[in-house]
Amino acid sequence: MICLKTKEEIELIRESALLVGKTLAEVGRHICPGVTTAYLDHIGEQFIRDNGGIPLCKGFEGFPSALCISVNDVVVHGIPSDSLFLREGDNVSVDCVVDLDGYVGDSAYTFPVGEISDDMKRLLTVTKESLYLGIEKCKAGNRIGDISAAVQSYCEKNGFSVVRELCGHGVGFKMHESPNVPNFGVKGTGPLLKEGMVIAIEPMICAGSKNVKFSKEDGWTCRTKDGKNAAHFEHTVAIGANGPEILSSFDFIEQ
């Protein structure tokens, strides 16, 4: 069932989503060659808790960490590790979900580590641009497929591929709510967008093939099958009376 939110509830979700944005920025300040992903996870969890939030990834269906930190060919759900050191030229996606006073915000950002290749810069740029093209379709009266098609067509037009096994979702009262928001699809199909819906839109885009594999060892880590790089950007978005309202923010990262 899709849960519509009141204006007051959307403002409370916004507060949680903004804490996510601030957390991503705090983590981003520590991203450099030589740091471990476990160290970044510690920074993020401490910041969330110091600001009154709860890191919802930690303990979710057994996930061990506060943040999902995914490097290079890891698309999503990378588990932070004391033995995984970032290197010059890597890209690292940080996905964060926070409960603040009972309301949930969700956002992700892919950071360059030092100087990255032109090909990787292009992957990050196109993935982020596709997120905003999807958000443009978040208008009452449109359908989920309008979002999905916008993301897919833009990424494929630029030579990249779209992961099929994972998708965005409703958010606000819980981490994952209805409806699912795929990054591929057909315009004019899927659930109707209505004022008061809050969704997490999150393109997960691959430099090579769209095919992925899940770790048999930890049950979480999702990698590209061909070993090529992936990128992931995500915003929490409300369907407002006058169009989309982005509740999360990259401004703390990019200022």
Residue indicated by tokens 């995500």: 234
| Domain-located, residue 28 | yes
| Domain-located, residue 2 | no
Q: Which residues fall within 8 angstroms of residue 7, CB to CB, at 6 or more apart?
A: none
Specify whether the CB–CB gap between 50 and 26 falls below 8 A. Answer: no
| Domain-located, residue 20 | yes
Confidence of residue 255 (pLDDT cuts 50, 70, 90): confident
- Indicate the pTM of the whole model: 0.97
**In CATH, what number is assigned to the domain containing residue 38?**
3.90.230.10
Specify whether the CB–CB gap between 2 and 170 falls below 8 A. Answer: yes
Q: For 115-138, what is each residue's pLDDT tens digit?
A: 999 999 999 999 999 999 999 999
Residue 11 gets the label, from left (phi > 0), alpha (psi -120 to 50) or beta, of: alpha
What's the chain's average pLDDT? 98
Whole-angstrom Cα Rg for the chain = 17
- Tell me the one-letter amino acid at 167: C
| Domain-located, residue 223 | yes
Buried b (16+ CB within 10 A) or exposed e, 152-170: bebbeeeebbbbeebbbbb
Q: For 20-45, what is each residue's pLDDT tens digit?
A: 999 999 999 999 999 999 999 999 99
| Domain-located, residue 78 | yes
Q: What is the pLDDT averaged over residues 223-252?
A: 97
Q: Which domain holds residue 237?
A: 7-254
| Domain-located, residue 103 | yes
Q: What is the pLDDT averaged over residues 88-101?
A: 98
| Domain-located, residue 1 | no
**Tally of domains within the chain:** 1
| Domain-located, residue 218 | yes
